[in-house]
């Protein structure tokens, strides 16, 4: 019997209605690995990635990068608006800087869009903020709320009734149990696990593979199994 599934159709398509995504011309601020991931997702969702902004490496301006050009730095924003590009995404991993750039883009008149991979599984009642990336294989279960400019990376799992505040980064393969709160700009390293009903404080870092069984104070680095405070972030 022939397989009726299109070769290009993703295996999982259970995304919520994504109110912060709009098809159209999108500029991505950032031009490294995370920007590639964002561009790939946005193109899969039907967006036209017109180019990348790099404010750090001027020698890259004008070069080709992942199917589009590095257009220049922030001085290009007005020209982009005049040309009809009003959608933007911040494509890099530094949490505080991501929020700062997001504010800059919004103040200049851009609308931030989310980038939710078609092979993510997101419950229908989940709230996902603008500028947030949900990567391939990620799972977000019912009752959870994901803030603005969050990264939910590859194969991360967020269980029911969790809150992930603005600017946090949930690393690849992280497992977050139910009723967990991840604070603003917190960073959860690859493969970390958080047991249920715990809070990871704002600006804290959970090391790769750590197992969090107690609340993590704000601004602390925790590592190990079980996780213990190593130092201030």
Has residue 15 been placed in a domain?
no
Has residue 12 been placed in a domain?
no
pTM, whole model, 2 decimals? 0.92
Has residue 173 been placed in a domain?
yes
Q: Which of 158, 167, 18 minimizes the C-alpha distance to 93?
A: 167
Residues in a beta bridge with 90 = 29
Are 124 and 93 contained in the same domain? no
Q: What is the mean pLDDT of each run of 10 residues along the chain (233 residues)?
A: 40 50 89 97 95 95 97 97 97 96 97 94 92 96 96 98 98 98 98 98 98 98 98 93
Has residue 92 been placed in a domain?
yes
Query: Based on the structure, what is the number of domains in the chain?
Result: 2
Residue ending a domain, among 78, 113, 148, is 113
pLDDT of 23: 75
Are 47 and 105 contained in the same domain? yes
pLDDT of 91: 97
Q: What are phi and psi of 27, to 5 degrees?
A: -105, 140
Residue ending a domain, among 85, 113, 141, is 113
Range of the domain at 94: 25-113
pLDDT of 18: 63
Has residue 6 been placed in a domain?
no
Are 128 and 106 contained in the same domain? no
Are 129 and 75 contained in the same domain? no
User: Beta strands 205-206 and 187-188: pairing type?
Assistant: parallel
Q: Confirm if 60 and 54 have CB atoms less than 8 A apart.
A: yes
pLDDT of 9: 45
Query: 135 Cβ partners below 8 Å, 6+ apart?
Result: 37, 41, 117, 120, 151, 152, 153, 154, 155, 156, 172
Residue ending a domain, among 88, 113, 138, is 113
Has residue 134 been placed in a domain?
yes
Are 96 and 175 contained in the same domain? no
**Domain of residue 144, CATH code:** 2.160.10.10
The pair of structure tokens assigned to 55 is 């404010």
How is the chain split among helix, strand and coil, in percent rounded to 5?
Answer: 15, 30, 55
């Amino acid at each position: 019997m022939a397989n009726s599934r299109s070769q290009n159709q993703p295996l999982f398509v259970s995304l919520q209605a994504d109110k912060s995504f709009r098809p159209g011309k999108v500029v991505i601020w950032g031009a490294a690995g995370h920007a590639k991931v964002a561009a790939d997702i946005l193109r899969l969702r039907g967006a036209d990635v017109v180019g990348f902004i790099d404010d750090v490496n001027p020698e890259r301006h004008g070069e080709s990068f992942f199917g589009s050009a590095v257009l220049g730095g922030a001085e290009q924003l007005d020209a982009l608006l005049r040309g009809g590009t009003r959608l933007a995404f911040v494509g890099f991993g530094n949490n505080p800087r991501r929020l700062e750039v997001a504010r800059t883009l919004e103040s200049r008149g851009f609308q931030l869009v989310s980038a939710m991979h078609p092979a993510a599984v997101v419950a229908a009642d989940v709230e996902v903020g603008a500028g947030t990336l949900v990567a391939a294989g990620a799972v977000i279960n019912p009752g959870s709320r994901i803030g603005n400019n969050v990264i939910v990376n590859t194969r991360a799992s967020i269980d029911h009734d969790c809150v992930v505040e603005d600017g946090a980064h949930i690393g690849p393969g992280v497992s977050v149990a139910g009723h967990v709160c991840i604070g603003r700009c917190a960073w959860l390293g690859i493969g970390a696990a958080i047991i249920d009903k715990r809070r990871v404080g704002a600006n804290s870092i959970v090391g790769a593979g750590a197992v969090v069984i107690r609340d993590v104070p704000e601004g602390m680095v925790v590592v190990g199994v079980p996780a213990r405070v190593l130092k201030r972030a």
